[in-house]
Amino acid sequence: MPHRILTVDDSKTVRIIIRNAFKRFDCEILEAGNGMEGLDRAKSKPDLILLDITMPVMSGVEMLERLHADPELAGIPVVMLTAEGQKTTAERAMQLGSRGYLMKPFTNDALIQQVSTILALQEKSVAA
């Protein structure tokens, strides 16, 4: 069964880059353009969420807080993906329960490595 990854980013460019990066893998890519849409798409329980921080309508930080307040969605691993690369932002995201943090600009290799590591961990923790 393919992994399902939800990309939440207001930039169509970033969403296409991510879709292209996972083309050669057995992945289904879901997309949302802001945190509000992202919360709605998250109800389909993707295996992982790639989440931008600075977005209109609802920011990534607010979406992360709402995900973790919902017992049905709280277990979905989230990787923050942002140009807001300062240590304080990273620490805040990790405090809120983000599993990883990838700074823009990023390479496809860095993205795939981060996602595959977390998905492998997630599978282990589900199987345990």
Site for another protein, residues 88 to 127, rule: CB under 8 A: 88, 103-107
Q: Shortest Cβ distance from residue 93 to another protein (Å)?
A: 14
Q: Does 63 bind another protein (CB under 8 A)?
A: no
Q: Does 62 bind another protein (CB under 8 A)?
A: no
Q: Does 61 bind another protein (CB under 8 A)?
A: no
Among 25, 86, 91, 121, binds another protein (CB under 8 A): 86
Q: Does 24 bind another protein (CB under 8 A)?
A: no
Contact in structure between 41 and 6 (CB atoms under 8 Å): yes
Q: Does 10 bind another protein (CB under 8 A)?
A: yes
Q: Does 13 bind another protein (CB under 8 A)?
A: yes
Q: Does 84 bind another protein (CB under 8 A)?
A: yes
Alpha helices in the chain (DSSP H): 12-21, 35-42, 60-69, 87-95, 108-127
Contact in structure between 51 and 38 (CB atoms under 8 Å): yes
- Residue 89: count other Cβ atoms within 10 Å of its Cβ: 18
Quick one: which H or E segment has residue 3? strand 3-8
* Rounded distance between C-alpha atoms, residue 52 and residue 9, angstroms: 5
Would you tell me which residues interact with another protein (CB under 8 A)? Answer: 10-14, 16-17, 20, 54-56, 82-86, 88, 103-107
